[in-house]
């Protein structure tokens, strides 16, 4: 398989994966829709940093330990599940605690439910990185898929990073669309009740992914 063919084939696979709604989509939409532009891009960059990390570790053969070691996989799986459950439950708790009369103060607390209340690029990056890096299924995906697209005669590490970069670029392009779409929702989200609806939906999605990760094989 030529490198050019490998790039196009891998782009098709990860492109479909990128377009599939999931936890990353929910985090980016929620953060951007609340007007936290810097934090939203921080989340995007953190998620893509996690993708690059998984790609690099797979190219080095490190993530093969996840497939070979049940202990390593289970440890990372439970760490990721606990993290997602905590993040989603905290978001839900802050919205319900405010009730229907929470007003703008409750909305402000909800904004900080996923981290530092300020619109921080670094805070968003940390959130996105942890969410991606603590998901062992991303690592298993790379272990199973990435090596199949690396030509036998190509340098393993360099080609693996090149393929992963394709995934990162597609993720950045799709995130740009999501952030732009979220701006449409900002007028509606000026209402505290609308913010609570968004955060309850996002919190439920995050908890759902945490439960799925905890009970999955």
Residue 64: what pLDDT? Answer: 67
> How high is the pLDDT of residue 48?
96
Mean pLDDT of residues grouped by 10 in the chain (217 residues)?
A: 85 90 86 85 95 91 69 78 85 72 40 54 92 83 85 88 95 94 77 78 84 77
Token readout for 136 is 């062992």
Per-residue model confidence (pLDDT) at position 108: 43
Model pTM score: 0.77
Contact 159, 6 (CB under 8 A): yes
The two tokens of residue 21 are 């709604």
Which residues neighbour 195 within 8 Å (Cβ) at sequence distance 6 or greater? Answer: 34, 107, 110, 189
The DSSP secondary structure of 64-75, one letter per residue, reads HHHHH-HHHHHH
Going from N- to C-terminal start, the domains of the chain cover 3-7+23-215
Show Cβ contacts of residue 27 under 8 Å, excluding neighbours closer than 6 positions. Answer: 43, 47, 114, 127, 128, 131, 202, 206
Helices and strands, counts by H and E, the chain: 10, 0
Coil/strand/helix, residue 146: helix
């Amino acid at each position: 398989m030529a490198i050019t063919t490998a790039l196009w084939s891998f782009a098709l696979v990860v492109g479909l994966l990128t377009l599939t709604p999931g936890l990353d989509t929910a985090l980016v939409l929620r953060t951007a829709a609340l007007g936290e532009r810097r934090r939203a891009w921080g989340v995007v960059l953190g998620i893509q940093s996690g993708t690059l990390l998984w790609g690099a570790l797979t190219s080095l053969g490190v993530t093969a330990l996840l497939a070979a070691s049940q202990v390593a996989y289970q440890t990372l799986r439970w760490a990721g599940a606990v993290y997602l459950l905590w993040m989603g439950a905290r978001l839900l708790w802050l919205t319900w605690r405010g009730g229907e009369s929470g007003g703008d103060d409750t909305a402000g607390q909800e904004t900080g439910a996923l981290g530092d209340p300020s619109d921080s690029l670094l805070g968003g990056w940390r959130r996105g990185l942890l969410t991606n890096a603590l998901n062992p299924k991303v690592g298993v995906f790379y272990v199973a898929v990435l090596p199949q697209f690396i030509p036998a005669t190509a340098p393993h590490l360099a080609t693996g990073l090149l393929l992963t970069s394709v995934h990162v670029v597609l993720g950045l392009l799709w995130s740009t669309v999501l952030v732009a779409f979220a701006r449409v929702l900002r007028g509606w989200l000026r209402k505290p009740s609308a913010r609570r609806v968004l955060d309850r939906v996002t919190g439920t999605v995050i908890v759902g992914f945490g439960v799925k990760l905890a009970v999955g094989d």
